[in-house]
Structure 1
């Protein structure tokens, strides 16, 4: 997944910028923990909100380190990738392998392991009703399903990886579960007091971010025919960016909102993405997307596209 060999010098990863970028997550972590420990009532919940943004950032940073492009050194990317993976409750190696396949097969809905389940909704009216209610009430059902089915589901992962990689995934699952068991055994009171609610809130932020990226976009289906991967630049039409305040996007979202540029140039560090200009309209504004997307039924937003609904973003 490391495309650094083809990247011009001024767009390559730099350790100084990468470590500087971590100042805001560290600040959010420290301030959120202090508020959550020292105060009750309103200030406690302010601390939880601050920590929820920290957990959103760990998810984004897991993504960046898995591309081996956030830091200059591969080993530093791996070390921090595991740290952010533990904090995100997503095993680093399974994320890296499945996300690599996502970049390879973006543009073929049934070939991309992260979108293959979005071809058609469930035939169960009850399930579809639950999906619609969760979408309207901002219950992060989609993110949880995305996370568990793609990065913790050994049956699915086995279909996509060779035996050697699959064995490594299983080994890291056991390591991650052992780490979580140890942390909860020794620190469960502290974890419940300080982190549980913040992590739960962060699930909503994560869902809102990832649901902008490939949902409700017309993406071809191969129907089990022999097809070739679509080039990175041609993948732009099957992705969506969203736009917010530039400072917030760069220092709080690490340019994770610039998903079209990321798919066009997946080997470029996130902090360099804003330097690249694509011939694409800078739309939608995040709140415009949120308003229009939430007006729709969840099953329509996920399983259909503007071709079927007429809703454009």
Structure 2
């Protein structure tokens, strides 16, 4: 009971930061979208000089695409503007830029927040995660699929292309009409946008400029989502033991980035604060973190430390931590037996 009271108090402590400042939001639009357009044009302009210079501008542009995605992300949570209509309009505009369907992502991401770190409610808006025992009970085909899915070259190499170019173009199974129609609308807007770019500068120049921007921003986006939940001492529990507050503070990392990268990524490194209260706009996440001492206890990860997360593949319910295949090699061998079937792997599915 005492723990529950502390958790409620912690959530209340960030309530003062659940406010939208129109002037700050407008300023953020200007200092994000204008540099994005300018850098993209600079990349196009530099094609006649050196493609290496084009790629350099492309890298810079990719970070502003990520910053644009954070605005999109806030619109999905209704935290960028006070007006729902304004959030919806800006969410569609930034969704076209980032190639993410607004209503689809808004709905699946809400499920992600409501079920994050809940072992019994995996499968929507998250990454595919199996426990040690689930993996040991899987069929050979499912084990192969899981190993491929969790392989860094697949997840960060092919994953961004699959997710942003193909997966997001289709509606989720069971999606309601509003979500389905929004996906169709956004697909049409994306096609029109790229058609106009192709008409204006030619298909070759468009691919040479936008190709690297699309791919690099996709890699960065997948990486940020991955690293902020896939760290060694994360938090996962079954439904009966699961806590929303603990999932936020213990199951989401504080990704401590250099100030420039913190700004370019819209403070999303303060992910524990965001999961505790999605209504806090990105520009107040750091202030909320600094003002609430208990939040300082969240797992802090630096860029160097985050690279270690690449080896994590399975959640170990015994030690309550992520482990590599190598670390549990003997256990997996002992758990595997001819009588066990893939059905024991339960409900976990790939993210949708």
What TM-score does the superposition give when structure 1 sets the normalisation length?
Answer: 0.79
Could you say if the C-alpha distance between residues 150 and 115 of structure 1 is closer, same or farther in structure 2, counting changes exceeding 3 Å? farther
Identify unmatched segments of 5+ residues in structure 1. Answer: none
Identify unmatched segments of 5+ residues in structure 2. Answer: 1-11, 290-294, 329-352
Separation in structure 2 between the aligned mates of residue 147 and residue 201 of structure 1, nearest angstrom: 12
State yes or no: 1:173 paired with 2:183: yes
Tell me the secondary structure at the aligned position of residue 22 of structure 1. Answer: helix
Separation in structure 1 between the aligned mates of residue 163 and residue 155 of structure 2, nearest angstrom: 15
Could you say if the C-alpha distance between residues 170 and 24 of structure 1 is closer, same or farther in structure 2, counting changes exceeding 3 Å? same
The structure 2 residue matched to 1:95, chosen from 89, 92, 105, is 105
Residue of structure 1 in register with 2:281 after alignment: 269
The structure 1 residue matched to 2:129, chosen from 96, 118, 140, is 118
CA displacement at 1:228 relative to structure 2: 9.1
State yes or no: 1:83 paired with 2:93: yes
Residue of structure 1 in register with 2:214 after alignment: 199
The structure 2 residue matched to 1:244, chosen from 257, 268, 274, is 257
Residue of structure 2 in register with 1:293 after alignment: 309
Task: Answer whether contact 1:67 1:267 (CA < 8 A) is retained.
Answer: yes
CA displacement at 1:199 relative to structure 2: 0.8
Q: Describe the superposition over 1:70-103 as per-residue Cα deviations: whole angstroms up to 9, x where unpaired.
A: 1232222111111111112111011111111111
Separation in structure 2 between the aligned mates of residue 138 and residue 231 of structure 1, nearest angstrom: 27
Separation in structure 1 between the aligned mates of residue 17 and residue 153 of structure 2, nearest angstrom: 44
1:251-266 superposed matches below 5 A: 251-266=263-278
Residue of structure 1 in register with 2:30 after alignment: 23
Separation in structure 2 between the aligned mates of residue 34 and residue 174 of structure 1, nearest angstrom: 28
Task: Answer whether contact 1:36 1:193 (CA < 8 A) is retained.
Answer: no
Counting matched residue pairs gives 288
Tell me the secondary structure at the aligned position of residue 304 of structure 1. Answer: strand
CA displacement at 1:30 relative to structure 2: 3.0
Separation in structure 1 between the aligned mates of residue 155 and residue 171 of structure 2, nearest angstrom: 28
CA displacement at 1:29 relative to structure 2: 1.4
Residue of structure 2 in register with 1:230 after alignment: 243
Could you say if the C-alpha distance between residues 12 and 137 of structure 1 is closer, same or farther in structure 2, counting changes exceeding 3 Å? same
Separation in structure 2 between the aligned mates of residue 14 and residue 247 of structure 1, nearest angstrom: 22
CA displacement at 1:149 relative to structure 2: 9.3
Task: Answer whether contact 2:235 2:246 (CA < 8 A) is retained.
Answer: no
CA displacement at 1:58 relative to structure 2: 2.3
Separation in structure 1 between the aligned mates of residue 270 and residue 59 of structure 2, nearest angstrom: 24
Could you say if the C-alpha distance between residues 246 and 37 of structure 1 is closer, same or farther in structure 2, counting changes exceeding 3 Å? closer
CA displacement at 1:22 relative to structure 2: 2.4
The structure 1 residue matched to 2:226, chosen from 166, 187, 211, is 211
Q: Which runs of 4+ in 1 moved over 6 A?
A: none
Separation in structure 1 between the aligned mates of residue 244 and residue 147 of structure 2, nearest angstrom: 37
Structure with larger RCO (C-alpha < 8 A, sep 6+): 2
Could you say if the C-alpha distance between residues 24 and 126 of structure 1 is closer, same or farther in structure 2, counting changes exceeding 3 Å? same
CA displacement at 1:126 relative to structure 2: 4.9
Could you say if the C-alpha distance between residues 45 and 97 of structure 1 is closer, same or farther in structure 2, counting changes exceeding 3 Å? same
Could you say if the C-alpha distance between residues 74 and 229 of structure 1 is closer, same or farther in structure 2, counting changes exceeding 3 Å? farther
